[in-house]
Amino acid sequence: MSGAVSETATTTASPTRWRTLDIVVCAVIGVAFGVVFWAWDAIWGATAPVFDAVKPLQYLGSGVWLMPAVLAPLIVRKPGAAIFAELVAAIVSALMGNIWGLDVLLSGFVQGAGAELVFAFGLYRAWGLPTALLAGAGAAVGEVLHDLPIYYPSEQFGLDFQLAIVLVAIASGVVIAGWGSWLLVRALRRAGVLESFASAT
Q: Of 11 and 148, which is predicted with more confidence?
A: 148
Q: Do residues 136 and 181 touch, judged by C-beta distance below 8 A? A: yes
3-state SS of the chain is CHHHHHHHHHHHHCCCCCCHHHHHHHHHHHHHHHHHHHHHHHHHHHHHHHHHHHHHHHHHHHHHHHHHHHHHHHHHCCCCHHHHHHHHHHHHHHHHCCCCCCHHHHHHHHHHHHHHHHHHHCCCCCCCHHHHHHHHHHHHHHHHHHHHHHHCCHHHHCHHHHHHHHHHHHHHHHHHHHHHHHHHHHHHHHHCCCCCCHHHC
Number of domains present in the structure of the chain: 1
Q: Tens digit of pLDDT for each residue in 132-170?
A: 999 999 999 999 999 999 999 987 899 999 999 999 999
Q: Which domain CATH number covers 155? A: 1.10.1760
User: Which distant-in-sequence residues (6+ apart) come within 8 Å of 40 by Cβ?
Assistant: 61, 64, 65
Q: Tens digit of pLDDT for each residue in 118-127?
A: 999 999 999 9
Range of the domain at 182: 2-200
Question: What's the pLDDT score for residue 14?
Answer: 63
Identify the CA nearest to 89 among candidates 100, 104, 78. Answer: 104
Question: What is the Cβ-side half-sphere exposure of residue 73, based on CA atoms within 13 angstroms?
Answer: 38
Q: What is the pTM of this model?
A: 0.89
Instruction: Calculate mean pLDDT across residues 182-188.
Output: 96
